[in-house]
Amino acid sequence: MSDQFTEVTTEGWGQRLGGSLIAALIGFVLVIVSVGLLYWNEGRAVTSSKALGRGAAAIVEVGASPVDAAANGKLVHVSGMMQPATPARDPVFGVTGDGLLRLSRVAEMYQWKEETHSQSHESVGGSKTTETTYTYQHVWSAQPIASGQFKVRDGHQNPSMELRSATFDGADVKLGDYRVDPALLNKLATFTSLHAQSAPPSGYQASGDGYYRGQDPNQPAIGDLRVTFAAIAAQTVSVAAAQSAGVLTAFRDDNGYTIALAEPGVVTAAGLFHDEMQSESRLTWILRGVGFVMMLIGFVCISRPLTMLFAVLPFLESMVGAGAFLVALTLAVPITLVTIAIAWIAHRPLIGGGLLIAALAALFLLRRMHPRRSVARV
């Protein structure tokens, strides 16, 4: 079910110019934040790379039992059966199972959701007319949707979400003879669906593999809840962590980076470290992309007042806006590379120098993309 509401608004040239000045201030903040993010991210990448490299070289192989007292305080690699003394259990629904290391409850509520779609066109004189369509539809969501922020609140109110998703861990988890620190157990995140076999509590009914609160699961109403479960059962797990008095816990490198690796199955130490390095590399590239996009948006926002000066004629606004985007791109690419290069120079000068040369080359190539101005001779 869904319904729509359409609103048409018009902004004059003066209003748009004032808004562009605010956008320019936001743009300056975005550029500064993006530079800080990019610099911090490279430092984080170098820190993790060095720590993981040292850890891979220094790790000690131990058996799951008995506890190797000689490896106390060292980074160890061990594979064995991981199981809890008391299986994970949901205290609200009583759902559990033999040997459950972890149990995940997913609670979803049937709610109203607002989606917006806008179309704008500029007029001679600099005014801008925007037609915004607000669409309201029913969705299942594990997060409460704040209907108080909707454009049209009447008839679209969501009740408070009393039950939330949660994860429960087994008690006194061991890998062989080693006790497992909860922070290390959290590294296991591959859950499989679990059929709830406990009797539903008051107000709920059994539905599918879980429970339902409402009149009819086939015809949900706003405020209805559905609850499903997933779990990680006792199994063979491979770990790279610190051995501290018989407890497998996070290992802290000299540079402050912590190593706590755990994967299902028999995985070599080299395999664990390779996977973690791949994960860190992906995160580094994601944050680089975020930093670059923030910087690009920041420079585009900074150029908005200039674009608005030409907005009295729509075609001029489009032309100046396209040129402003090209200038923003010309600035964002090399500044991103320079920031990354400076960060690496502080940690790894050879790589940083290469990146700095790449940044200068990018600046040169992007400058050549701009159309050259012809100068008439008298």
Q: Is 60 left (phi over 0), alpha (psi -120 to 50) or beta?
A: beta
Distances (CA, A) of 118 to 111, 136, 313, 330: 23, 15, 21, 29
Q: Round to whole Å and give the CA distance between 16 and 23.
A: 10
> What's the pLDDT at 12?
86
> What's the pLDDT at 59?
97
> What's the pLDDT at 351?
60
Q: Is 218 exposed, middle or buried, given 0-12, 13-18 or 19+ CB atoms closer than 10 A?
A: exposed
pLDDT (tens, 9 = 90+) of the chain, 378 residues, equals 568 899 898 888 888 889 889 999 999 999 999 999 999 999 999 899 999 999 999 999 999 999 999 999 999 999 999 999 999 999 999 999 999 999 999 999 999 999 999 998 888 877 888 899 999 999 999 999 999 999 999 999 999 999 999 999 999 999 999 999 999 999 999 999 999 989 999 999 999 999 999 999 999 999 999 999 999 999 999 999 999 999 999 999 999 999 999 999 999 999 999 999 999 999 999 999 999 999 999 999 999 998 888 877 777 878 888 888 999 998 998 889 888 888 877 666 656 566 666 666 766 665 666 555 443 443
Gyration radius from the chain CA atoms = 29
> What's the pLDDT at 314?
76
Domain ranges of the chain: 9-49+282-369, 58-110+139-267
Q: Round to whole Å and give the CA distance between 54 and 363.
A: 37
> What's the pLDDT at 340?
86
> What's the pLDDT at 308?
85
Distances (CA, A) of 244 to 61, 72, 91, 182, 335: 15, 5, 31, 14, 45
Cα within 13 Å of Cα(77), Cβ side: 16
Residue 320: partners with Cβ closer than 8 Å, 6 or more residues away: 306, 307, 310
> What's the pLDDT at 354?
65
Structure tokens at 171: 């008690």
Q: Is 14 exposed, middle or buried, given 0-12, 13-18 or 19+ CB atoms closer than 10 A?
A: exposed
Per the CB < 8 A criterion, the answer to whether 132 and 9 are in contact is: yes
Global pTM value? 0.83
Per the CB < 8 A criterion, the answer to whether 332 and 295 are in contact is: yes
